[in-house]
Amino acid sequence: MFSKDKEATERRSSGAPSILSAGMQVTGDIVSDGEVQIDGELSGDIHCAKLTIGETGRITGSVVADDCLVHGAVVGQIKADAVTLSRSSRVEGDVLHDMLAIEPGARLDGHCRRLDKNETEDPKLDLVVTDVDRGSF
């Protein structure tokens, strides 16, 4: 009677988020079906449904999420359906997204690319910036 997708959505929406507290350092990958909040430091990749990176949070690795809110720092690629970079965010890497919001003051050193719904789970980003691409606006 219930589809797997509906059951997965119900599991994600229930329960408290998993939190990596400020002052805590983790080396390794994190995988979660639910919500994760990073206020400490993660050296590794993270794959979750909803990710919030607090102002004291730092991720050195790739991020894959349905929804990603960045207040802290990310050094690596972000791939998410919805990405929000707040004014305190610092991102060094490419952002692959369906929806992207960047607040004034956010720092982004990388490329932004809108994902096509038909792309595979880990598309190869093959962008080259030349002097011609850097023309004035």
Is 65 inside a domain boundary? yes
What are 97-113's pLDDT values in tens digits? Answer: 999 999 999 999 999 99
CB neighbour list of residue 34: distance below 8 Å, 6 or more residues apart: 11, 12, 15, 17, 18, 48, 49, 50
Is 64 inside a domain boundary? yes
Number of domain units in the chain: 1
What are 24-76's pLDDT values in tens digits? Answer: 999 999 999 999 999 999 999 999 999 999 999 999 999 999 999 999 999 99
Is 128 inside a domain boundary? no
Is 75 inside a domain boundary? yes
Model pTM score: 0.76
**Residue range 125-131: mean pLDDT, rounded:** 37
Is 48 inside a domain boundary? yes
- Tokens representing 129 are 């910036």
Render 51-114 in DSSP notation, one character per residue.
EEE-TT-EEES-EEEEEEEESSEEES-EEEEEEEE-TT-EEES-EEEEEEEE-TT-EEES-EEE
Is 41 inside a domain boundary? yes
**Residue range 118-134: mean pLDDT, rounded:** 42
Which residue range forms the structural domain that includes residue 29? 4-114
